[in-house]
Structure 1
Amino acid sequence: MTATTVEALNRGYTPEVAPIHITAPLSREVRSTYRSWRTQILYSVIIGYAAYYLLRQNFSMAIPGMMEDLGYTKIELGWVVTMWSIVYGIGKFVNGFLSDRSNARIFMPAGLLLSAVVCLCMGFMDTLWAIGFLWMFNGWFQSMGWPPAARLVTHWFSPTELGMKWALCSSSHQIGGAIISVFAGYLIVHYGWRSAFYIPALLAIGVAFFLYNRLRDRPQDLGLPPVEEYKGDVRHVSDEYEERVTLKDVIHQVLGNKLVWYMGFANLCLYIPRMGIFVWAPTFLKEIKGTGLLEAGWQVGGFEIAGLAGGLMAGWLSDRFFGGRRGPVGVFFLIGLAASIGLLWAIPAGYPLLDLVALMLAGYLVYGPQILAGVASADFASKKAVGVANGFIGTLAYLGSGIAGVGIGYVVESYGWAGGFTLFIASSLIGAFFFLLVWNRRAKVLEDQGA
């Protein structure tokens, strides 16, 4: 191939052949630097997004104490959760777009710092309107966390390893959720529900400064080549090296992409049981199973920890055995989730170990599809639009989360917990259907290159 031909290909001159990015082998020093930074980015994202969860799940743990101390009902506090979910969902889309046009090193810690300030104020509130108003602000700042994290992982890890690396970064959901479930339970029992807002906020402020010190937006900021050159595993078309998303990209690659919509609807469905358990499990375990709040915290912590393993397994299976196809694993996991939720409901009161097993099984099976939906949206869009694609499916997901707030509160108040569990099971099965629609689909770049 002549130099002129290579130059023409890189300009996109020949429409029949995807332009090829030709690179020389990287030096040992560059590869060593790359490995070190990839490790640093990976653990920093995990720690950073886990800290976001310290300022989110604390409200769920505080609900029983707020009901007793302030006299609010499930429906009233459910509205707070729903309004948080609506604001968070809208924020995921808007901040997804903004994060793709921003520096993740600044964007991610800024959201954490602002969320911590809100949580500090929450501990002083008594009136429902003030609690709801502040928690909506928290929803917006919380939505600044995952879009830049998604941008970081897709810029530092290549498509052929993305399933497993995404799952590792997403383990932050379970790590943070498990820590705050146990930690907030301890704080509330010993120091009251307000302490579950004060103490996590102070810890998160320290993590925000840690993130600014450790993160870098992309390899090119350090004089390193794009990750595809480091891995040498994909021949990319030239526009994959454009780094900032445009409105045209949003319309074409995200809003006009039916595959991204399928993953958005799947995310909406799976978030109903995921957030339903996340928000209401402590109340359900206390009212129906007779479990103490501290023990319920440990059981919900088990749900989160098992989710960590489920997410890693789902990512590994989709990479290793399905060639980057996320659909099959999502289908199997969501069908299993429906069965595990039925099991949790069927266990009679007085068997806390069995409750823990059922919750862990549900956590294992719900977090796998959640991770795969995010990976698939990145697969079906492009690297430069990953933040907005994830923000978009996150917006739909938190419509499901909104249903899990006031919707579950209303259903349980009107029809009992049996009604709530029926909704969880039906949502899981509908989510499996949307994963079925992408059964044979893989990342666009892998399809284009025949990898």
Structure 2
Amino acid sequence: MSFKTHIKFVVVTIIYFAHIYFRRLPITLLPLIREEIVLTSDDIGILVSSHALLYTIGRLLFGMASDRYSKVALLLLGLVTCAACSVGLAFSNHLWQMLIAMMLLGIVQGAGWVPATLLVQSWYSKSTYGTMFSILACGSTFAGILQPFSKKFYWRNVELYTGAGMLVFSIVCFIVLREDNVSPKQTEDDEEPNPEKKKKGGLRTIVGSIVIWHISFVYLFTMEMRTICETWVQLFLTDSKISPDAFQITYEIGGLVGTMASGIVIDLATRKFDVDATRRVIAVSYTCLMMFSAAGIFEFAELSSIFGFLAGMFVNGSINVWCMIASQAGFSKIQGTVSAFISFIASSGSMLAGTPLAYLISVFGWKVFLYIFSVQLVIVLFVSSFRVRLRMDTTENEASKNEIDDDESSGVCSTVVDSQRNLTSLNKKTRISMLLALYATKKIKPFRDVLASNKV
């Protein structure tokens, strides 16, 4: 790959990092914000809930938009909006002002991830896509690692300077990525309309696809586990008189290692094995191992740092692989919509880790997690045993292959031999036959004499 491509990749990674950083920053600074702006527990609940709701909706909307509009334009729209909201929060003094900024920060998050993955997919080959995808995903982990350092400064200055700095940096991003600022719709208009492709691109096709629901269902357990590790584990450790700080640090470091390791392992394995088979094995393995690691936290609280590292590694590694699968599960023209739809459905795992799980904990205590993980482990292995394909376009490829076979068996030859005797658009068998015929006309005397007598 060229140096220019790597520069563009770095810029896209920074943009994605900025999306995550600005989304998490107000939540991280809430204890400091409450010292100046009066916020009750109900007010904070409204801020967090509205932010989470629009985050989920935004992922779906911008995923669909990425199939119709320029991915670079969507990335820059999200970056500028996040930076502007950060500047606005620096001057906010009332709940309604913070609410507007938090809602905007939530809804534009979808403009970061899906367009970024589609750009990376277009720049790199299959042999390196896993590694580059994982490096991009590390932007989320780095944003989480940097969040605690933001508390060491005055919160208004942090929001103002980071937001203003990113607004300036957005100009650099536009200059670097301007060549890729092309809408997919512009290239599609030049093609002849195909009714079959339009049928395949509809939302009904996505909703009715067993491939999509299979991926979403297994991915759901990973999203649930992330919420458990980021919320319930810390409460469990606090109730157990153990500081959750060490767990948080090792969890983030493990996440960084797991994200990178999963991508590298996939790239190495796909050199010898099928891509989809490799991703399936690694994704299911990571999903099962994360449940064992999380169970270890609740069973051996004194070893929470060790199990926290393992949980972070397998949770984030699992998320990385399932996101990689989702990003290439659909047809080429609806990959953004498919990826966003899968994320939308899988997000229900976070909801399951909310009120329903809180009820079970209140009734059965913290030991209920061991039973939950055991049941979910059996479910994941059972569902994965059906070996449902991981791409919607498998049947399409088979159909096109059958069309080629039909053309071969029809006996009709539409090959053109130009003046230089170059053969084009030939399958292997036809190419060999035609070359032998040409050789015969040049070397065998009867044919050579006929050709010579017909020359002008």
Per the normalisation by structure 2, the TM-score is 0.69
Alpha-carbon distance in 1 for matches of 2:90, 2:369: 30
Given candidates 132, 140, 155, the residue that maps to 1:165 is: 132
Structure of greater relative contact order (alpha carbons < 8 Å, 6+ residues apart):
1
Counterpart in the other structure of 1:205: 167
Counterpart in the other structure of 2:252: 301
Alpha-carbon distance in 2 for matches of 1:421, 1:200: 42
Given candidates 193, 200, 203, the residue that maps to 1:251 is: 203
Deviations 1:130-174 (A, max 9, x none): 655542321101111112112202222344543333223223222
Q: Structure 1 141/220 Cα, relative in aligned 2: closer, same or farther at 3 Å?
A: closer
What SS does the corresponding residue of 1:55 show, helix, strand or coil?
A: helix
Contact 1:86-1:402 within 8 A present in 2 as well: no
**Number of residue equivalences:** 389
Deviations 1:26-60 (A, max 9, x none): xxxxxxxx623432232222222122121233355
Q: 1:336 Cα shift?
A: 0.3
Q: Structure 1 42/417 Cα, relative in aligned 2: closer, same or farther at 3 Å?
A: farther
Given candidates 23, 36, 40, the residue that maps to 1:56 is: 23
Give the counterpart letter for 1:170 in structure 2.
A
Given candidates 8, 31, 43, the residue that maps to 2:10 is: 43
Q: 1:428 Cα shift?
A: 6.6
Given candidates 272, 275, 296, the residue that maps to 1:343 is: 296
1:174 aligns with 2:174: no
Counterpart in the other structure of 1:270: 222
Structure 1 spans left out of the alignment, 5+ residues: 1-33, 226-237
Alpha-carbon distance in 2 for matches of 1:166, 1:60: 27
Contact 1:337-1:365 within 8 A present in 2 as well: yes
Counterpart in the other structure of 2:322: 373
What SS does the corresponding residue of 1:101 show, helix, strand or coil?
A: coil
1:385 aligns with 2:334: yes
Contact 1:46-1:172 within 8 A present in 2 as well: yes
Q: Structure 1 336/207 Cα, relative in aligned 2: closer, same or farther at 3 Å?
A: farther
Give the counterpart letter for 2:77 in structure 1.
A
Contact 2:201-2:331 within 8 A present in 1 as well: no
- Determine what percentage of the aligned residue pairs are the same residue: 20
Deviations 1:277-327 (A, max 9, x none): 34566666556454376x665344324323333432453366345411222
Contact 2:63-2:340 within 8 A present in 1 as well: yes
Deviations 1:228-247 (A, max 9, x none): xxxxxxxxxx99xx9xx968
Q: Structure 1 309/67 Cα, relative in aligned 2: closer, same or farther at 3 Å?
A: farther
Q: 1:95 Cα shift?
A: 0.8
Q: 1:418 Cα shift?
A: 5.3
Alpha-carbon distance in 2 for matches of 1:200, 1:261: 40
Q: Structure 1 401/250 Cα, relative in aligned 2: closer, same or farther at 3 Å?
A: farther
Counterpart in the other structure of 1:186: 149
Q: Structure 1 140/440 Cα, relative in aligned 2: closer, same or farther at 3 Å?
A: closer
Q: Structure 1 126/405 Cα, relative in aligned 2: closer, same or farther at 3 Å?
A: farther
Give the counterpart letter for 2:307 in structure 1.
A
Alpha-carbon distance in 1 for matches of 2:25, 2:129: 30
Highest Rg: 1 or 2? 2
Alpha-carbon distance in 2 for matches of 1:205, 1:407: 41
What SS does the corresponding residue of 2:249 show, helix, strand or coil?
A: helix
Alpha-carbon distance in 1 for matches of 2:142, 2:291: 24
Counterpart in the other structure of 1:20: none
Alpha-carbon distance in 2 for matches of 1:194, 1:420: 40
Contact 1:114-1:141 within 8 A present in 2 as well: yes
Question: Which stretch shifts more, 76-85 or 100-109?
Answer: 76-85
Q: 1:206 Cα shift?
A: 4.4
Counterpart in the other structure of 1:311: 262
Alpha-carbon distance in 2 for matches of 1:272, 1:134: 27
